């Protein structure tokens, strides 16, 4: 019989057990056993041990060990330790915390696999001899090889599938490749390609990359969460698939979005991959094409609404809080308008929640506008905004602009909102339409005669900034862009709908139709455009600039709620990262290549705001939040296995 932390194991169930005693700085000893048993004593596969030298070193350096109930305990867990934040969360060591398969299973474990980069020593000590060809590659050469391979594919979806395969094969290689080639690979793992991937998710589905919670799991969600292998979750991105980008209802196949967003949480914001949980809530789909598609992976029924929907969401939200605590960040993504606003209002006061499409997009566009003011002149209150699309993105951006304007001028929100006009599918939103308007559109109904067409609204309102957030492509016609260019020396135009096919206009159209005068940004990336001998590079006004840094800031401060002032702080931090050199090129967003540094700055500002508002629980406040944020970020370097 072998006993560890109060659990008894029959010694014959332990194959190749190795033990070590690790002495922490605080001189608390705890036994560490690396074994191939699961908690119920069931023998696992032929499995010995891998102790991660760096992990142990890190644990010793970063994690004060806390003795509790005479059991051996350690803060944090295996992997990157979030400094002292973890010190508040004591976790009992169980054998399987520290066991990693060796041999063939090690090669099949994406968290620990290094492929050809296993050293000679590691191949000897971890039963890898013969399982790999003789050559040893380093991490850099592996990245180079994969990039070469990816570039051979002409079809974007093939690149997406290759990236997903890599993520499931060798996680650290996936992140190193993505982080070092972020501008080239963001369009592969994110918009626009992720949109096509969701449309075809049933056909390309190989292995689950997140949790599927359908109506079938009603009443069992707590159990379902336990099935996920990782226990220390810090960020969840959840969708119900009803409004995937501008592509509409993709049901269960929306899973590509939480998976993609969370890879960016890690690559751009430095959140550990093991702390990220993608979730898709499946309540059916109203997409007839998918319902008839033999490869569709979701529930084959029309969407549940009303009480049935609300109960499932409620069960999910409670189960998450119960399982992961109140500091887990839940990002709502790509819900349809009618649920998105309600869910945010309902859970905003009890959970750490954030809607990326409403709040993330708002924060990134406000930052772009602040940067654009350096080019067009005037302060925020001197500008007039017209939106096409009065949904989550449109009204979210408009509200944040109004808040910032109030902050700057001291004018009440009711006044600053009057600077913004909106056009929806029925035309200009005006007071006479009030009765029939959904609640989130009402603040934007001002006094004006009804106007049906966008182009007429543009001509009558004469906005200085035109923002497309309609989810419908090609709505900024030549006439619309030309009208903007008649009364603005430098018309500011945002075509935000995703993916590229849904963009309100292309970069080329914006520059040519405005004769090179537009300040343009889009939600999905466009290649540089040459017009009359000059090259125009447009910015990507995508929430990917904000959510990774915002999430990092919330986590490092231990924030328990998201507050609008944090979004404003994030916008200011992002706008401050736009250099003079960027502006001279007409760029109102900094290059994505610098995103890790930018995220650390956003995180620091968000965390500082959390402390100021009394919403932070990680005390005391670190002295230098930027340095602290950077020190908490995940690095994809390989670890040395003893």
- Spell out the residues 6+ positions from residue 424 whose beta carbon is closer than 8 angstroms to its own: 389, 390, 441
Window contacting Mg ion (CB under 5 A); options: 78-86, 231-239, 326-334, 511-519: 326-334
First to last CA, the chain: 27
Measured from the CB atom, is 392 or 630 closer to Mg ion? Answer: 392
The reply, when asked if residue 565 is annotated as ligand binding, is no
Residue 333 annotated as part of some ligand binding site:
yes
Choose the contact partner of 249 out of Mg ion, ligand OAA, none; CB within 5 to 8 A by kind.
none
Q: What angle do CA 482, 581, 186 make, to 5 degrees?
A: 75
Partner in contact with 498, chosen from Mg ion, ligand OAA, none, beta carbon below 5 to 8 Å by kind: ligand OAA
The upper half-sphere exposure of residue 590, i.e. CA atoms within 13 Å in the direction of its Cβ, equals 20
Of residues 452, 403, 444, 410, the one with CA closest to residue 565: 403
**Pairing label, strands 465-468, 492-495:** parallel
Residue placing its CB nearer to Mg ion in the complex, 102 or 331: 331
Report, in Å, the least distance between residue 357 CB and ligand OAA: 5
Find the binder of ligand OAA among 242, 334, 404, 504 (CB under 6 A): 334
Tokens representing 72 are 């051996």
For residue 518, give the nearest of 485, 469, 560, 549 by alpha carbon: 485
Helix (H, G, I), strand (E, B) or coil at 211: strand
Report which of 416, 354, 349, 422 is spatially closest to residue 386, judged by C-alpha positions: 422
User: Can residue 196 be called a binding residue for Mg ion (CB under 5 A)?
Assistant: no
Closest distance to Mg ion from the beta carbon of 244 (Å): 8
Q: How many CB atoms lie within 10 A of CB 145?
A: 14
**For ligand OAA, which is the closer residue by CB, 214 or 500?**
500
Residues whose CB falls within 8 Å of the CB of residue 155, separated by 6 or more in sequence, listed in order: none
d(CA 509, CA 480): 11
Is 392 a binding residue for Mg ion by CB under 5 A? The answer is no
Residues in contact with ligand OAA, total (CB under 6 A)? Answer: 9
Q: With respect to ligand OAA, which residue has the nearer C-beta, 105 or 498?
A: 498
Cα gap 146→174, rounded to integer Å: 9
Q: Determine if residue 334 is labeled as part of a ligand binding site.
A: yes
CB of 249 to ligand OAA, least distance (A): 13
Interaction pattern, residues 269-288, with ligand OAA; x per rule: CB under 6 A: --------------------
- From CA 95, how far away is CA 44, in angstroms rounded? 12
Tokens at 81, concatenated: 């330790």
Q: How far is the CB of 338 from ligand OAA (least distance, A)?
A: 16
- 191-210 residues near ligand OAA, rule: CB under 6 A: 191
CA distances from residue 310 to 58, 160, 217, 305, 333 in whole angstroms, order as listed: 43, 34, 14, 8, 17
109 is known to lie in a ligand binding site: no
Measured in degrees and rounded to the nearest 5, phi and psi for residue 14 equal -100, 115
By CB under 6 A, residue 356 contacts ligand OAA: yes
Window 234 to 253, contacts with ligand OAA (CB under 6 A): 245
**What's CA 204's distance to the chain center, in Å?**
22
**Cβ 587 to Mg ion shortest distance, Å:** 23
Catalytic residues: 190, 261
CA 610 and chain centroid, separation: 20
Indicate whether 334 belongs to the interface with Mg ion (CB under 5 A): yes
Burial (Cβ within 10 Å: 0-12, 13-18, ≥19) of residue 555:
buried
Residue 192 Cβ vs Mg ion, minimum distance, rounded to whole Å: 13
Choice between 356 and 509, CB closer to ligand OAA: 356
Nearest CB to Mg ion, comparing residues 254 and 491: 254
Instruction: For residue 542, state whether it binds ligand OAA (rule: CB under 6 A).
Output: yes
Asked if 543 touches ligand OAA (CB under 6 A), the answer is: yes
CA–CA distance, 448 with 167 (Å, rounded to integer): 53
> Among positive and negative, which fits the CA dihedral 481, 487, 488, 489?
positive
- Binding segment (CB under 5 A) for Mg ion, from list 77-85, 185-193, 325-333, 611-619: 325-333
Selection from Mg ion, ligand OAA, none that 542 binds (CB < 5 to 8 A by kind) is ligand OAA
How many residues of this chain bind Mg ion (CB under 5 A)? Answer: 3
Residues 350 to 379 in contact with Mg ion, rule: CB under 5 A:
357
Binding site for ligand OAA (CB under 6 A): 191, 245, 334, 356-357, 498, 523, 542-543
Binding-site entries: 243, 333-334, 357, 498, 542
Binding-site entries for a divalent metal cation: 333-334, 357
Binding-site entries for (S)-malate: 243, 498, 542
Binding site for Mg ion (CB under 5 A): 333-334, 357
């Amino acid at each position: 019989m072998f006993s560890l932390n109060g659990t008894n194991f029959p010694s014959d169930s332990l194959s190749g057990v190795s033990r070590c005693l690790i002495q922490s700085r605080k001189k608390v000893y705890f036994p560490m056993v690396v074994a191939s048993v699961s908690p119920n004593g069931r023998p696992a596969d032929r499995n010995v041990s891998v102790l991660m030298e760096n992990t142990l070193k890190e644990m010793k350096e970063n994690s004060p060990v806390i003795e509790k109930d005479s059991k051996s305990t350690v803060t944090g867990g295996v992997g990157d330790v979030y400094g002292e934040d973890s010190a508040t969360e004591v976790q009992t060591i169980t054998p399987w915390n520290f066991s990693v398969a060796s041999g063939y299973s090690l090669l099949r474990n994406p968290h620990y696999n290094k492929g050809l980069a296993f050293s000679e020593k590691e191949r000897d000590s971890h039963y890898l001899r013969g399982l790999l060809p003789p050559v040893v590659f380093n991490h850099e050469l592996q990245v180079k090889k994969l990039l070469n391979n990816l570039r051979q594919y002409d079809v974007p979806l093939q690149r997406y599938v290759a990236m997903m395969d890599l993520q499931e094969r060798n996680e650290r290689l996936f992140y190193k490749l993505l982080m070092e080639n972020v501008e080239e690979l963001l369009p592969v793992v994110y918009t626009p390609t992720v949109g096509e991937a969701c449309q075809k998710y049933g056909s390309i589905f190989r292995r689950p990359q997140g949790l599927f919670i359908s109506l079938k799991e009603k009443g069992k969600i707590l159990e379902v969460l336990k099935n996920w292998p990782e226990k220390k979750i810090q960020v969840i991105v959840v969708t119900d698939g009803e409004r995937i980008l501008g592509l509409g209802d993709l049901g269960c196949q929306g899973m590509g979005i939480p998976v993609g967003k969370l890879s960016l949480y890690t690559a751009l914001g430095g959140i550990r991959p093991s702390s990220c949980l993608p979730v898709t809530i499946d309540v059916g789909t109203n997409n007839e094409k998918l319902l008839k598609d033999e490869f569709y992976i979701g529930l084959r029924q029309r969407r549940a609404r009303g009480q049935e929907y609300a109960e499932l969401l409620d069960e999910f939200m409670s189960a998450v809080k119960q399982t992961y605590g109140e500091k887990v960040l839940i990002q709502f993504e790509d819900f349809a308008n009618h649920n998105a606003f309600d869910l945010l209002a309902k859970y905003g006061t009890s959970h750490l929640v954030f809607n990326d499409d409403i709040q993330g997009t708002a924060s990134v566009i406000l930052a772009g506008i602040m940067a654009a003011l350096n080019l067009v002149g005037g302060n925020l209150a001197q500008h007039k905004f017209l939106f096409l699309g009065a949904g989550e993105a449109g009204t979210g951006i408009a509200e944040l602009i109004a808040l910032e304007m109030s902050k700057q001028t001291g004018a009440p929100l009711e006044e600053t909102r009057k600077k913004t006009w909106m056009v929806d599918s029925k035309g200009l939103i005006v007071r006479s339409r009030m009765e029939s308007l959904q609640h989130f559109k009402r603040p934007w109904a001002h006094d004006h005669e009804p106007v049906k067409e966008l182009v007429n609204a543009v001509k009558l309102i004469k906005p200085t900034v035109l923002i497309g957030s309609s989810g419908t492509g090609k709505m900024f016609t030549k006439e619309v862009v030309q009208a903007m260019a008649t009364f603005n020396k430098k018309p500011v135009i945002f075509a935000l709908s995703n993916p590229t096919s849904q963009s309100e206009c292309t970069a080329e159209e914006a520059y040519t139709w405005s004769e090179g005068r537009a300040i343009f940004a889009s939600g999905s990336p466009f290649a540089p455009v040459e017009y009359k001998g000059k090259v125009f590079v447009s910015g990507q006004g995508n929430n990917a600039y904000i959510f990774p840094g915002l999430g990092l800031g919330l986590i490092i401060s231990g924030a328990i709620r998201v507050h609008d002032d944090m979004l404003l702080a994030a916008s200011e931090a992002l706008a401050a990262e736009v250099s003079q050199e960027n502006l001279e090129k007409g760029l109102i967003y900094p290059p994505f290549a610098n995103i890790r540094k930018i995220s650390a700055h956003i995180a620091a500002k968000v965390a500082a705001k959390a402390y100021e508002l009394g919403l932070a629980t990680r005390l005391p406040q670190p002295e230098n939040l930027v340095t602290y944020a950077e020190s908490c970020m995940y690095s994809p370097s390989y670890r040395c296995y003893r």
